[in-house]
Chains A and B, each alone.
Chain A
Amino acid sequence: MAMLDIKNLTLEISEGDTTIKALDKVSLSVNSGEIRALVGESGSGKSLIVSAICGALPAKWKLTADRMSWNGENLLSMSTQQRREVMRRDIAVVFQNPQTSLDPSVTLGEQLEESIPEEFVKGQWFWQRAKHRKKIAISTMHKVGIKDHNTYLKSYPHQVPSDIGQKFMMAIALVAQPKLLIADDPTRGMEPTTKTQILKLLTRLNQTRALSVLFVSHDLLAIASMSHTMTVLYAGQTVESGKMKHIKKRPLHPYTKALLDSAPSFRKDLPPKSSLPTLKGSIPTLQHLPIGCRLGPRCPRAQRECVVTPSSRRIHDHIYSCHYPLHREVK
């Protein structure tokens, strides 16, 4: 059974008197022990999904879902107290922008230590506990690859380079030993060696501790090498989801195909110096969403029926939303 199970999540943002569906019937699930990739162009709503899962969206935005559950418990209807407990013990989040997600007036060390659940800290007296807490903090820092713990424990967020900030976010998330880690673009702008380090760490935790990961990224290569399953998002709609190897071998949705084709590393038969095939146009802004299938205006296979939103169809555990998927001939 899926640990995190989201079905038909819809998020309506109202600005003035217009209401926009920033997320439209998004479905996403993360099974126990799997790494799921969430891919999509910039502005497709990935970070909104992340915020929706951890309940960090502004209260005035309308969030509805047919199902949004954590281990069978409904996240939307549970009390604030229960929800907090889930976030504290089970789900950890690395937000996209590490520099703004860290409190500027508190040292990194304090922020890391406050995230350690009380039950992990041994010792009867507060100084014993403080010492143990510090020990946990330091070992977590080493784990995410921060060697110089003495300097950084006492630093403020603005004093450290951005990759240390990103690693700290990772450390803060991992120190509570969560069951699910949601990482929103955790390796953005990192150097290749640092990036490999982080990706390896995630893979290792996934294998040894059965940590499930929801991995949001732009880096198709990293995603393809480490994730088991993938969900593709386009302009706030899920277009395709399924096993990584199935999608890679045979994408069913035109958008997924365009996405994969645009990454040179997936094309073995690419002749030298050829231009990469891409979809024409760019992702629509939320104010100018087309009706029906949101890919419509850019889709090479679009037909008249595409003005009706395609429902999601399923072949085994491969789900797609398209009237004319790639395995069917277009008349």
Chain B
Amino acid sequence: MIQVLLRYVVLFTITLVVLCAMSFSLAYLFPGDVLENLTGISPQNEFQRAAIARQLGLEQNYFVQFYYYLERLLAGDWGYSSASGLPLLEEVSVALPATIELSTYAMFMAIVVGIPLGYYAGVKCYSTTDYTLNSLSITTYSFPVFWFALVLILVFSLQLDVAPISGRLSLLFDVESVTGFIMIDILLADNIDHGLAIRDALSHLFLPTVAIGAITTAAMVRITRRSVIDVMQRPYIAAARSRGLSSWQIFFRHVIRNALLPILPLMAIQITTLITNAMIVETLFSWPGIGNWLLQAIYQQDYPALRVGMLAVSALVVTLTIIVDLFNRLIDPSRDRFERGTI
């Protein structure tokens, strides 16, 4: 057990260090001044420049520089945005939660809607219901997310006018950003009507969540269905049936869990797609998330912001993937075997 945890921690650390190294190398790869790329400060005179360079260790070799870079990252000194002049840590910690929040709801939708539908389709495999569900999910899965979001805006905001086009919350509500998650911040704020504010936030959330979630939901339906069909064909299901267990007993005791185990790692892959989609959809809905923020940084050629933004997003994806994998490892008893077998 401890060995397993240790292995994951080591894996995680190494991956993060590699990501940091890549982000560090970006400072050299981007056009412009390395010093400015690393800090986001343009020195006023030669004297100031020399002082900063000494602080960054620029006169020493790359490894020492990288060491200083890591030290600054850990200390929370991520540099300044060359466009706004604000500390990047602050900007990222406002933008990233907005994206995480959106992705969480979309993932939640995908799990709550997609997995049960997938189970249903799998159990009823090769029936009309199954074919209908399957074709629906293939269709949804093939939508380009950009186009799908535009269609949603067109239908629900412009034609039916049931949901706002953009933003996170109506400007009427003055909510201070504490955690960066709008729902929690609303609950924490004290001078507003919570019920109204939450309803307003939900109506803002609705379209982007559906736009991102629908595609992942479709993927979930397909993954789950395939997995259920595979499990239903295993000999132990036939054996359970020959013991006279009812279909319900077989489903609850032997199908659900066995079908879920292969889904989990695939879910981790979906998370990556989901976050990518979220970053695309954000720009359409002017959602103040990391995708929108990165895009602005690109427009303004804000290299320090790009360097940090990419590091933050990739660290997020790696963290989630490793957590899902660890979780999967903990609940799947038969994975011991492979570990003992390998040299």
A residues with CB within 8 A of B: 51, 54-56, 84-89, 91-93, 95, 97, 100-106, 110, 114-115, 156, 158-159, 172, 176
Known contacts A105-B258, A106-B253, A158-B334; A95 and B235 CB within 8 A of each other: yes
Instruction: Check if A105 sits within 8 Å of B244, measured CB to CB.
Output: no
Whole-angstrom CA separation of A89 from B242 in the bound complex: 11
Instruction: Give the CA-CA distance A84 to B245 in the complex, in Å.
Output: 7
B334–A100 touching, CB < 8 Å: no
Contact A55 B258 (CB under 8 A): no
Decide yes or no: A103 and B254 within 8 Å by CB, A93-B239, A158-B334 being known contacts. Answer: yes
Q: Is the CB of A55 within 8 A of B242?
A: yes
Instruction: Report whether B334 and A114 are in contact in the complex, using a CB–CB cutoff of 8 Å.
Output: no
Starting from the known contacts A87-B243, A100-B236, A101-B235, 18 additional A-B residue pairs (CB-CB under 8 Å) come to: A51-B238, A54-B238, A84-B244, A89-B244, A95-B235, A95-B238, A100-B235, A101-B236, A102-B236, A103-B253, A103-B258, A104-B236, A104-B334, A105-B257, A110-B253, A114-B249, A115-B243, A158-B333
| Alpha-carbon distance between A56 and B250 when the two chains are bound, in angstroms | 14
CB-contacts of B205-253 with A (<8 A)? 234-236, 238-246, 249, 253
Q: In the bound complex, how far is the Cα of B240 from the Cα of A86, in angstroms?
A: 14
A100-B235, A104-B333 known; A54 vs B242 contact (CB < 8 Å): yes
- Residue ID in chain A nearest B236 by CB atoms: A103
Q: Complex formed: what's the CA distance from A86 to B243 in Å?
A: 9
Q: Does B261 contact A (CB under 8 A)?
A: yes
Bound CA span A159–B234, Å: 19
Tell which of B243, B246, B258, B333 touches A172, judged by Cβ atoms closer than 8 Å. Answer: B243
**Beta-carbon contact of B234 and A105 below 8 Å:** no
B305 → chain A, closest Cβ, in Å?
A: 46
Per-residue 0/1 for B125-165: is the Cβ within 8 Å of any A Cβ (1 yes, 0 no)?
A: 00000000000000000000000000000000000000000
| B61 vs chain A, min Cβ distance (A) | 51
Closest CB-CB distance, A117 to chain B, in whole Å?
A: 8
Q: Is B193 an interface residue (CB 8 A)?
A: no
Any A CB within 8 A of the CB of B7? no
> Could you tell me the distance between the alpha carbons of A159 and B239 in the complex, rounded to whole angstroms?
20
A86 to B235, CA, bound (A): 20
Q: Are B333 and A105 in contact (CB under 8 A)?
A: yes
Alpha-carbon distance between A89 and B244 when the two chains are bound, in angstroms: 8
Contacts of A106 in B (CB 8 A): 253-254, 257
The verdict on B332 contacting chain A, using a C-beta distance below 8 Å, is yes
14 residue pairs of the A-B complex, CB under 8 angstroms, read A55-B241, A55-B242, A89-B244, A92-B243, A95-B242, A103-B236, A103-B240, A103-B253, A103-B254, A105-B257, A114-B253, A156-B334, A159-B336, A176-B244
Query: Residue A158 contacts which of B240, B245, B337 (CB distance < 8 angstroms)?
Result: B337
Question: Which residue from chain A places its CB closest to the CB of B254 in the assembled complex?
Answer: A103
Report the Cα distance A114→B257, complex, angstroms: 16
In the complex, A92→B337 CA distance in Å? 30
Residues on A with beta carbons closer than 8 Å to the beta carbon of B244: 84-89, 176
In the complex, are the beta carbons of A100 and B234 less than 8 A apart? yes
Which residues of the partner chain B approach A110 to less than 8 Å between Cβ atoms?
253
B244 → A minimal CB distance (Å) = 2
Q: Majority SS of interface residues in chain B?
A: helix
How far is B235's CA from A110's CA once the two chains are assembled, in angstroms?
18
Question: Do the beta carbons of A95 and B334 come within 8 Å of each other?
Answer: no
Which chain B residues border A51 with CB–CB below 8 Å?
Answer: 238
Are A93 and B242 in touch, CB under 8 angstroms? yes
Q: A84, A92, A105: which contacts B261 (Cβ < 8 A)?
A: A105
In the bound complex, how far is the Cα of B146 from the Cα of A33, in angstroms? 71
Would you give the shortest CB distance from B260 to chain A, in whole angstroms? 9
User: Given the complex of chains A and B, what is the CA–CA distance between A91 and B242 in angstroms?
Assistant: 8
The complex places the Cα of A85 from the Cα of B334 at a distance, in Å, of: 32
CB A87 to nearest CB in B, in angstroms, measures 4
Lowest 6 CB-CB distances: which A-B pairs, in order? Answer: A88-B244, A54-B242, A56-B238, A101-B239, A87-B244, A100-B235
A176 with B236: CB separation less than 8 A? no
Q: Name the residue of chain B whose CB is nearest to the CB of A94.
A: B239
Q: Are B242 and A87 in contact (CB under 8 A)?
A: yes
* B239: nearest chain-A partner, CB-CB: A101
Q: State whether B235 touches A97 (Cβ < 8 A).
A: yes
Shortest C-beta distance, A246 to chain B (Å), equals 32
Q: Of all chain B residues, which has the CB nearest A88?
A: B244
Residue of A nearest to B261 (CB): A105
> How far apart are B313's CB and chain A's nearest CB, in angstroms?
35
CA distance A166 to B334 in the complex (A): 18
Whether A56 contacts B234 by the Cβ 8 Å rule is no
Cα(A103)–Cα(B261), bound, Å: 13
Which residues of A have CB within 8 Å of B249?
Answer: 114
Chain A's nearest CB lies how many Å from the CB of B122? 16
Give chain A residues whose Cβ lies under 8 Å from the Cβ of B238.
51, 54, 56, 95, 101
Task: Identify the interface centre among B239, B253, B258, B336: most chain A CB within 10 Å of its CB.
Answer: B239
Q: Closest approach, in angstroms, between the C-beta of B259 and any C-beta of chain A?
A: 10
CB distance from A261 to the nearest CB of B (A): 35
Enumerate chain B residues within 8 angstroms of A56, measured Cβ to Cβ.
238-239, 241-242
* B234, B238, B244, B337 interface centre (most CB from chain A within 10 Å): B244
For residue A173, which residue of chain B has the nearest CB? Answer: B243
Residue of A nearest to B237 (CB): A103
| Smallest CB separation, B228 vs chain A (Å) | 14
What per-residue 1/0 map shows which CB atoms of B246-280 lie under 8 Å from chain A? 10010001100110010000000000000000000
Q: Which residues of A contact B241 (CB under 8 A)?
A: 54-56, 84, 87
Q: What's the nearest-Cβ distance from chain B to residue A54, in Å?
A: 4
Contacts of B243 in A (CB 8 A): 87-88, 92-93, 115, 172, 176
Give the nearest-CB partner of A104 in chain B: B334
Measured CA separation A155–B238 after assembly (Å):
22
A156 and chain B: residue at smallest CB distance = B333
Which B residues are in CB contact (< 8 Å) with A93? 239, 242-243
CB distance from A49 to the nearest CB of B (A): 13
What is the CB-to-nearest-CB distance from A160 to chain B, in angstroms, rounded to a whole number? 12
Minimum C-beta distance from A5 to chain B (A): 19
Q: Which A-chain residue is minimally distant from B337 (CB atoms)?
A: A158
Compute how far the CA of A106 lies from the CA of B238 in the bound complex, rounded to whole angstroms. Answer: 15
The smallest beta-carbon distance between A211 and chain B, in angstroms, is 17
